[in-house]
Amino acid sequence: MLKTYSGSCHCGAVTFEADIDLGAGTSKCNCSICTKRRAWKTLVKPDAFRLLSGADALRDYSSSPAAHHRFCSICGCAPFGDGHLDVLGGDYVGVAITCLDIPAEEMAAAPVRICNGRDNLWWEEPTVTAHL
């Protein structure tokens, strides 16, 4: 069910809203940046994401032209990222589930798909996933 969620970075400088169907699934990835950040995301189209405050506090780390990893320059938290990948349907925003203002029970109920980004086999689940 599509629902509007509020979220923020740790210090609250960056705030946003996003229209998300958590029941449609979330993802974790084993690539180096996602593993180190322990990233847990859901993807939405850009028109379903609204940055409410903190554009001036955001910084960008881009490991490829297809992905921009946004983070707060004050607290270092990474509440979302964005980019363009044809395989994902074009432009996207990857919202960090852990930055949403929701009860832990609702977060825990969201289905999770594990992606093998480390080996560029995105649609195959990696052998080892417990660390994610």
pLDDT in tens, 34-71: 899 999 999 999 999 999 999 999 999 997 778 899 99
pLDDT at 88 exceeding the cut of 90: no
- Rounded CA separation 73/56 (Å): 9
In 10 A of CB 19, how many CB atoms?
Answer: 14
Query: For the domain that residue 71 is a member of, what is the CATH number?
Result: 2.170.150.70
Identify whether 131 is part of a domain: no
Residue 21 phi, psi dihedral angles, 5° rounding:
-110, 90
pLDDT at site 110? 97
Cα angle for residues 71, 79, 126 (degrees, 5° grid): 100
**Residue 127 covered by a domain:** no
State how far the Cα of 71 lies from the Cα of 66, in Å rounded to an integer: 16
Mean pLDDT of all residues in the chain?
94
33 versus 48: the higher-pLDDT residue is 48
Domain span including residue 15: 3-24+44-102
**Location of structure tokens 């921009």:** 68
Structural domain count, the chain: 1
Residue 124 pLDDT class (50, 70, 90 cuts): confident
